[in-house]
Structure 1
């Protein structure tokens, strides 16, 4: 495979070689709000659009080192604007349209993006854009750059995107992701062995995952650009039209998360269930029994995997070409060139088979090669994650004698709901800001469909507040998926002698409260708030 040094170069190479190939599409059965009749764009057509956008951004003064925020959902225009900006050495901040204004303000403040390019319909959210930052439509000329920069793209270590990821220290942190990062992720993705092997100029990769996640942006988007494949970007997962969309798009690869097989297995059988021609679904985080049932019913094997935004394609595992005992949560074999250890709390290596925290790095002279370039504006957090020369994942895993890794649990205060990482500390801060709340502790609880759900222990400031009304108030500050699905009012929270929350006790108490029905189940209320906002 000829060398390219940026996502734009990967795209441009394919567009020059095979302009006739489909770049992006969606069938009418997807019922996309922005393309109800479906759409199809060739690489040649996309290249012409990218060239025009590139010229417009250059005319507005943008170039190497510029950074703009994109609020475009999973529309094809997102990819066109990203490629145009990547071509001139500028970076993007993909924005989640489900955010609240305060969350957007945080991301804009941290990223120091100098403009927002946004599709219509998000005026309430855009109220969170700090004063003085221009907002423009994707169809309008870009606003003038704050400072004139020279267009100069293609540098491997230059920033290509800034993705926010929830961590254990509160508000989401901004991961700096380079051109090399994205190509490294894509090259791993298109080079998987066995069932995951891909054919150049023939693959169609469908994803319901958002472009503000590295999975959709790095694997699906850049991966397909690298090998001349087509991208099927959906607005989100819709169970009622999932199989029809896969079949009608001609998808050969399907992306999902653990929640998707769980939901599909609950639905009645339809003729569309096996009408597809997909070879596999790439679905990290699938329950072990759900995997067995899903593959048998839908004739679609699941390739499991593990990675983080921070680890990219250098700290990654997958089960492609791997045999293991069904019913175990295997995350596969580490990629060649990835060094790893399993350690205790003192970072001491554990015996084979014993579960501990996974530490990872790249082999060779640069242990950070292919990983994120750091947390923007937070070098302390970056170095803490890399303490001792190893990236600390916060995930508890075990290994077997064959070198396969098995996921056990999460060490950090992270809630993994429907593929989204949610910081317990961020949710606690939002709840604590409400005058009806005296103290709060948030923890994950098991959920048979969404992997985990948000649970909040609340010590009321006075009498117990109406839980639904409390959720509605907090929904002004948090995206709906971060809201508690369960609430339990308590007189006090379990703390240690140093007044630190006893997270382990809190988690086990939450599981017990759900199991015996003492917790208030607010999942329907939470779902209604998503629609209302």
Structure 2
């Protein structure tokens, strides 16, 4: 274990990796599904070399560096290398395309981006709209024609660099930026200090009662906090091994768990459902998995993982990129449907009336409000939108926009989203960004994007569009889906579409998505049923 886990205000993942590499350099740490493996010492040295490589390219401390990569040992060395340089990693979802990708690259004013070769083409097609970009560090062989005014270098060139010897980051320095979405504007960049990121892993160590005998199976993407901090960061702090899957696969999940010898893993509601929907086999209990952390954790999911797969502890939690994970389940305390209990030495939780911020009584539903007790244990704000930061911190509480309730024993249950947010496949989707893409199509006068419940018990949403045609025309739904599919990330593509004469609005002209949601998806055009992709 990292020597400073009982000093959360002083923790950084870079310091934890440095300490581990000095004490046990030959210990195996990472294996990835592409066949690569790293000892702790190799990972540390590779990260240090990559820091020097970036410095040679002209990247400076506090400068932002994009990371547009799939899970791999190389991605881990990249992120830690950026951290050691005291630069800021901008974690980009590999599904981003078109205006979604352009917004995030320009919002951060990225001059340098590290990218997997197959993804280069998605950046190149935006070349004329990226005034700040200068350098692409490419992992693998790319056939995309890069503009002459960009510099392209190979990721592997970092292997010859001398390890970085500059000052390491402090807990208050910004480790990374992750984007989170809403409905009132484009996705917002969350500024995440090193301490904030480490605090997430410290919570997992306590919640899961992790020991040196554990091993994490990581199949969620590292461009999100769950994969990068709840899982990978936890292994650094706890000094345990990890198996890193490039991409989640329900069909190989059990075999991966068994062959890797993993004892721990995390799920989202949908990934858990996909695993459960796999045909039962005689090997369902043939593994070492002792605990799984899933958010949300419906009772029917928990029962299957306990009874069919023989997982002793199935836990949940509650959090978001801005606040980390303030609420965790506990080993040995089954609490299906509930999120868990607050880590009260590190966070303060209040369930309050969403209009007045006045606390509600135990058992009553209100908005989940959070504030930190550890310095720099929260986000430092939203990038370039200070008004949104102030708005979220009304009355000196961070407003999650989520409804919950807390019983007399302190157990907290997530109930629903208060704000108009779409969550699909573990992603928060900006309705505004979806509407911007769809609204530019010929023949569409107005569009509203909103959430409808997904089928099954995954606890997540499907994207639905309400459309008003120009001049009373009739819309071709299949053609709309084909046109937007090239511009929307896969997770943001609409499942249901409905043409309407007009959209319900307030007296001030605001679309009433609550009314649209109440109407449901019955009778709407269903892209899956129609085979439109």
TM-score calculated relative to the size of structure 1: 0.88
Runs of 4+ in structure 1 over 4 Å off: none
Partner of 1:197 in structure 2? 209
Report 1:71-150 matches (<5 A).
71-127=68-124, 128=126, 130-131=130-131, 132-138=133-139, 139-141=155-157
RMSD: 2.1
CA distance in 1, matches of 2:517, 2:256: 39
Report 1:399-438 matches (<5 A).
399-438=406-445
Q: 1:58 aligns with which of 52, 55, 58?
A: 55
- Which stretches in structure 1 are left out of the alignment for 5+ residues? 27-31, 143-148
Assess if the C-alpha contact under 8 Å between 1:63 and 1:151 holds in 2.
no
CA distance in 1, matches of 2:455, 2:119: 33
Q: 1:275 aligns with which of 256, 279, 286?
A: 286
CA distance in 1, matches of 2:333, 2:222: 31
Assess if the C-alpha contact under 8 Å between 1:58 and 1:151 holds in 2.
no
Report 1:327-346 matches (<5 A).
329-337=337-345, 338-344=347-353, 345-346=355-356
Q: 1:309 aligns with which of 318, 321, 327?
A: 321
CA distance in 2, matches of 1:350, 1:430: 40
Distance change (3 Å), C-alpha of 1:325 and 1:234: closer
Partner of 1:187 in structure 2? 202
Assess if the C-alpha contact under 8 Å between 2:445 and 2:469 holds in 1.
yes
Assess if the C-alpha contact under 8 Å between 1:19 and 1:43 holds in 2.
yes
Q: 2:518 aligns with which of 508, 512, 515?
A: 508
Shift of 1:140: 4.7
Assess if the C-alpha contact under 8 Å between 2:297 and 2:338 holds in 1.
no
Assess if the C-alpha contact under 8 Å between 2:475 and 2:499 holds in 1.
no
Assess if the C-alpha contact under 8 Å between 1:6 and 1:86 holds in 2.
no
Shift of 1:18: 1.1
Shift of 1:116: 1.0
1:233 paired to 2:241: no
CA distance in 1, matches of 2:274, 2:371: 35
Shift of 1:106: 0.7
Shift of 1:445: 1.1
Partner of 1:374 in structure 2? 381
CA distance in 1, matches of 2:116, 2:343: 38
Assess if the C-alpha contact under 8 Å between 2:113 and 2:137 holds in 1.
yes
Q: 2:466 aligns with which of 445, 457, 472?
A: 457
Assess if the C-alpha contact under 8 Å between 1:165 and 1:421 holds in 2.
yes
Distance change (3 Å), C-alpha of 1:152 and 1:436: farther
Partner of 2:501 in structure 1? 491
Task: Give the 3-state SS of the residue equivalent to 1:256 in structure 2.
Answer: strand
1:470 paired to 2:480: yes
Q: 1:215 aligns with which of 226, 232, 247?
A: 226
Assess if the C-alpha contact under 8 Å between 2:209 and 2:331 holds in 1.
no
Equivalent pairs, count: 497
Assess if the C-alpha contact under 8 Å between 2:315 and 2:331 holds in 1.
no
Distance change (3 Å), C-alpha of 1:151 and 1:105: farther
Distance change (3 Å), C-alpha of 1:407 and 1:258: same
